[in-house]
Amino acid sequence: MLSIKMQRSSIFFVLILITSSLRMIFCGTKIDGDFDDTYWYPLDIKVWTWWINGNVEISSKNVEISAKQSEFIKAINFRNNKKIEFLPIKVYKKLPNLNVFQAFNCAVQEVKYENFQNLAELQLVSLASNEISNIPKDTFKDLSNLKHLELRMNNIQTIHELSFQNHINLKFLNIGSNEISYISPTTFENLKELRNISMSDNTLQSLGDEHFKNNKKLERIWLQNNKIHILSPTMFDHLKNLVVANFTGNSCIDRLFEVNEDEFCALKVLGLKEIIKKNCES
């Protein structure tokens, strides 16, 4: 039986809007929240947002929203609530036009396809500061318009090589501060619009030519505080827009590589290449 414990015992079966307060329903139990127009960085958009109150507890894997469908709500925000262990499933049935899905600093243990299925309008997903240990391959497969994915500060050990295969519009990916020791060379191959990637504070040991082969628009790569001891000297040759590559706190290289915009691309890539070749070539 689904379990959501609330501070109040009232049960509602309708969606009630009263001034700025939005009341939604999970399986017949009232959840209070604030309802307002919110500016979302880094998408540069304002969206009608449902902010979930901190008295909500979700301890079941298969909780659904039970309320009248709303096409006007564009963002949902679970925040600073350690009683939220799972995210609702089949959200699209009630909130079909979401642009933003955020669950920050909760206790989410896992994510799965049913949490994000058919939410094709999502542009930002932030699941930072939770307890997620695995990203199944089909979790975000319906999110073809996703631009910003935040998975930092979890317990992620593995990311399936097909987890990002449908994200052709993704520009920012943060999987930093996890427990990732290996990334498949094909994991990022479809992210042709990727500008920024952070894999800092993991336990990565090596990266090769294939890892960023198709990410020709990359501008910033954050790899500090890993255990990297093998890098390919030619892995950045094709990244003509690269301005930051942070390798501080690694085994074979401990340096922030940063250039000014007026420096020649050939020189900056050559400088990085020589450092890697001297210290990190297998």
- Give the start-end residues of each E strand in the chain: 16-18, 21-26, 29-40, 45-52, 75-81, 100-106, 124-126, 134-135, 148-150, 158-159, 172-174, 196-198, 206-207, 220-222, 230-231, 244-246, 256-258
Q: Is the pLDDT of residue 267 over 90?
A: no
The reply to whether 140 falls in a domain is yes
Residue 3 pLDDT: 38
Indicate yes or no: pTM above 0.75: yes
pLDDT tens digits for range 174-218 = 999 999 999 999 999 999 999 999 999 999 999 999 999 999 999
Mean pLDDT of 128-137: 95
- The reported pLDDT for the residue numbered 237 is 86
Which tens digits make up the pLDDT trace of 135-186?
Answer: 999 999 999 999 999 999 999 998 999 999 999 999 999 999 999 999 999 9
Q: What CATH number is attached to the domain comprising 234?
A: 3.80.10.10
At position 280, the amino acid (one-letter code) is C
Work out how many domains the chain is built from and give that number.
Answer: 1
pLDDT for the residue numbered 188: 96
Any domain includes 10: no
- Residue 222, token pair as written in the block: 């954050």
Whether residue 30 is contained in a domain is answered as no
Structural domain contains residue 29: no
16 pLDDT above the threshold of 60:
no
User: Which residue has 């979401």 as its token pair?
Assistant: 98
User: Among candidates 21, 20, 24, 34, which has minimal Cα distance to 4?
Assistant: 24
Q: What does the pLDDT read at residue 255?
A: 87
Contact 48, 20 (CB under 8 A): no
- Mean pLDDT, the chain, whole residue set: 84
Sheet strands (E) in 152-211: 158-159, 172-174, 196-198, 206-207
Residue 164 lies in a domain: yes
How far, in Å, CA of 81 to CA of 268, rounded?
45
Q: Range of 62's domain?
A: 35-279
In a domain, 3, yes or no: no
pLDDT at 227: 96
- Euclidean distance between CA atoms 258 and 255, whole angstroms: 9
33 pLDDT tier (thresholds 50, 70, 90): low
Burial class (CB in 10 A: 0-12, 13-18, 19+), 226: buried
Residue 85 has pLDDT above 80, yes or no: yes
Distance, CA of 154 to CA of 121 (rounded, Å): 25
16-31 average pLDDT score: 40
Residue 128 is assigned to a structural domain of this protein: yes
Residue with tokens 């949490």: 115
CB 28 within 8 A of CB 12: yes
Question: 230 near 253, Cβ under 8 Å?
Answer: no
H or E element in which residue 269 lies: helix 265-279
Confidence of residue 20 (pLDDT cuts 50, 70, 90): very low
Segment 38-51 mean pLDDT:
77
Would you say residue 62 has pLDDT above 60?
yes
Indicate whether 233 belongs to any domain: yes
Structure tokens, 101: 């899905």
Q: How confident is the model at residue 5 (pLDDT cuts 50, 70, 90)?
A: very low
Percent pLDDT > 90 in the chain is: 60
Cα angle value 83/84/89 (rounded, 5°):
155
